[in-house]
Structure 1
Amino acid sequence: MKQYNSSYYEDLIIGEYQYIVNGIEKANTLFNLNVVYNNQFAKHALAGNAPVDNNNRTWKCPQCNPNEKRLRLKIRDVSANRSGDYIIRKTMINGKEVLQVKLIDILPDFENMNPPAFTLPAGEFTMIKQ
C-alpha cells in the first residue's frame, strides 16, 4: 500500500494476525485488516518497509541468493501492548511456497517500569502456505 509519511509517499506492507495455542485463540487482529488509519505503520499489528540484505548482522542468510531481498517489519503484541521487530523471507521448500520469519528484537517499553511480558512466540519459524 502507498503511505504518506508527512514528507513523501512510500510503499508499506501491512497486516494483521490471529494467534492460536492448542485450539485457544490468544489474540486476533484480523478484523483491522481493511481499516485505513492516518498512520498505517503505527496502527496495524504488522507493518514495515525496511529491506534487509544477506549480510545483515541480525539474521545472516548464507542460503539467500546474492540479490535476494528480505524485509524487516514490526509486530505489535496486542495482549501485552508491546512491539517487536522481525525479518521475513519468502522462499520455496520442497516445492512449497513458505515464509521464513525470525523475531529479532522485542522493543523496550520506556513508559512502564515493569512492562508485561511479550506474549507472542519468539524465535525462528517457517510458515507454509495452506
Structure 2
Amino acid sequence: MKKIILIIALSFPSFIFCQTPIIDLLDDDGSAIPNAYYKDVNNLLDPFVGTYIYSDITTNTSFKVVLVKKTLQFNGRYYEDVIIGEYQYIENGVEKVSTIDELNQNYSNYNKYNIVGNILINNNNFRYWRCFDCISNEIRLMLTINDDLSQRFAYLILRRATDLAGQEIIKIKIVNISRSFSDNPNLSLDFVLPFTELTLIKQ
C-alpha cells in the first residue's frame, strides 16, 4: 500500500509539470506553446453549455444545438478547455442531418465532434460578426462547425442574451464556409446548415 501511495505521489507532480504554463483562454494569442494548458480560468465557456433550439412552425423548420464543455483536452501539442457539440437540422419537416448521437462517443481526438472550439471574442467589431448592440467587453464564442453532409467547415459564432420574457437564448451566425476537403463523390456539394442569423431558445 505504501508503494502505491509513493507512486501516486511521485506521478502527480510530473503530471502537473507537463501542463505548464497555464494560460487564460482570453490571453491566447495563437502561439500554441507546447505542453501549455489553455485554461478557461474564469469559466467563461460555462454559460454557453446547454441545449438550444430554433423553431419556425410556419415552415416546420428547426435547428437544435447541444453544447458540452470538456476540460484539459490534449490535441497532441498542448492542453485546452473546449466546447464540443452536435446538432440536428430539420427543414420543411424533413430531417436533413442529425449528429446528436455522436455526443455518446468518447472520442480521444475531440476534433472529431462536429462542433468544437473555444475562441472567446470580446471585440464588438470582430470582422466576422460586428455587434452594434453588445455591451463593452461582452463575451461571445466562436466555434468550428462541420456540415456532415458536405464535409464543409464554417465558423459558428454565438452570443448569449435574454428575451423579453426572461428566457435564456443564444443568437448564432454561421460564417466563412470552406470548400469540401473530401474526395467522396457522393457527398452533397452544398452547405446544408442554415447560415443566416438565428435565435435559439435554451431548453
- Provide TM-score, normalisation by structure 1: 0.88
Where does 1:34-53 land on structure 2 (aligned, <5 Å)? Answer: 34-41=104-111, 43-53=112-122
More helix by share: 2
Where does 1:19-38 land on structure 2 (aligned, <5 Å)? Answer: 19-38=89-108
Larger Rg: 2
> 2:180, 2:189 within 8 Å by CA — same for their partners in 1?
no
Per the alignment, in what secondary structure is the counterpart of residue 98 of structure 1? strand
Q: CA deviation at 1:70?
A: 0.6
2:201 match:
128
Q: For 2:168, which of 68, 91, 97 is the aligned residue?
A: 97
Where does 1:1-130 land on structure 2 (aligned, <5 Å)? Answer: 1-2=70-71, 3-41=73-111, 43-53=112-122, 54-94=124-164, 95-109=166-180, 116-130=189-203
Question: Equivalents in 2 of 1:7, 1:77: separation in Å?
Answer: 26
Q: CA deviation at 1:19?
A: 0.8
Structure 1 ranges of 4+ moved more than 2 A: 108-112
Q: Deviations over 1:87-120 (max 9, x none)?
A: 11111111211110011110123566x9711111
Question: Equivalents in 1 of 2:134, 2:167: separation in Å?
Answer: 17
Per the alignment, in what secondary structure is the counterpart of residue 104 of structure 2? coil
- Provide TM-score, normalisation by structure 2: 0.58
- Gaps of at least 5 residues in structure 2 are 1-69
Question: Equivalents in 2 of 1:109, 1:26: separation in Å?
Answer: 18
CA RMSD of aligned residues (A): 1.8
> 2:146, 2:152 within 8 Å by CA — same for their partners in 1?
yes
- Gaps of at least 5 residues in structure 1 are none
Q: Deviations over 1:6-47 (max 9, x none)?
A: 222111100111111122111111111131212212x11111
What percentage of residue pairs aligned between the two structures are identical? 43
Q: How many residues are aligned here? A: 128
Q: Deviations over 1:63-104 (max 9, x none)?
A: 112121111111111111211112111111112111100111
